[in-house]
Amino acid sequence: MALAGGALSLHAQHRPTPAAKAKAPTKADPAMAASITRGAVVYKNVCITCHMADGGGVPNMNPPLIKTEYVLGDKARLAHIVLAGLAEPIEIDGNDYKQHMPAQNYLTDQQVADVLTYVRNKFGNKASAVQVAEVKAVRATLPK
């Protein structure tokens, strides 16, 4: 904690704006923190309706985004779910999810990277950021 606080205050010295000071002390990576902030907006606009504010989903309809192998695992597969949707029955905690997830390919690469970075660091999740280049690479594999 002391270390993180020190690093942050050091960083705050370089950009001494009040907004930067107000940032949570654990977010040591400013680029990632900014991505998470932007991702929260995308989540609220797009994903919240199905996966809910707490990421817990809707039983037997929309799966939770809490520590699932999809969320925490391979980033290309994760970006593929958002860009192309998902249509494979899955079971999480005894609940069956058969409904398909529609593709959200109208989102920009930046928005997809942001929302996935957000999801991977929210709802008790902790994982590395998703980069714009990683999303771009997945989009290139999809039919136009």
Partner 1 sequence: MPALAGSLALVASHPTSVRVAPDPNNAGLKLPAGFGALVAAETGGKARHIAVTPQGVIYVKLNKVKDGKGILELHSQPNGKATMTGGFGDYGGTGMYEKNGYLYASSDHAVYRYKLDGKGEVTAPTKPELLVRGLKVGSQHESKSIVLDNADNLYVNIGAYANACQEQDRTRGSKGIPNCPILDSAGGIWQFKANQLNQRYPDGTRYATGLRNVVGLDWNPQDNQLFVMQHGRDQLHDNWPELYGEKESAALPAECLYALTKGSNAGWPYIYYDQQKKELMKGPEYGGDGKTPSTADYLKPAAAYPGHMAPDGLLFYTGTMFPAKYRNGAFIAFHGSWNRAPEPQAGYFVVFQPFKNGKPDGQWEVFADNFAGSAAKAASGRADHRPCGLAQGPDGSLYVSDDQKGTIYRIVYNAKK
Q: Return residues touching partner 1 (CB under 8 A).
A: 44, 46, 48-50, 52-54, 56, 58-62, 87, 89, 94, 96, 98-100, 102-104, 106
Q: Which residues, in sequence order, are bridge partners of residue 60?
A: none
DSSP per-residue string spanning the chain: -HHHHHHHHHHHHHS--HHHHHS-TT---HHHHHHHHHHHHHIIIIIHHHH-TTS--BTTTB---SS-HHHHS-HHHHHHHHHH-B-S-EEETTEEE-SPBPP-TTS-HHHHHHHHHHHTTSTT---PPPPHHHHHHHHHTS--
Name the residue nearer to partner 1 (CB basis): 63 or 129: 63
Q: How far apart are CA 125 and CA 122, in angstroms?
A: 5
Number of residues that bind ligand HEC (CB under 6 A): 28
Does 139 bind ligand HEC (CB under 6 A)? Our answer is: no
Does 65 bind ligand HEC (CB under 6 A)? Our answer is: yes
Rounded to the nearest 10°, the torsion over CA 32, 33, 38, 39 is: 70
Q: Among residue numbers 95 through 124, which ones bind ligand HEC (CB under 6 A)?
A: 97, 99-102, 104, 115, 119
CB of 133 to ligand HEC, least distance (A): 18
Q: Among residue numbers 17 through 36, which ones bind ligand HEC (CB under 6 A)?
A: none
CB of 132 to ligand HEC, least distance (A): 15
Name the residue nearer to partner 1 (CB basis): 37 or 99: 99
Name the residue nearer to partner 1 (CB basis): 22 or 93: 93
With CB under 6 A as the contact rule, which of the stretches 6-14, 79-87, 126-134, 136-144 interacts with ligand HEC? Answer: 79-87
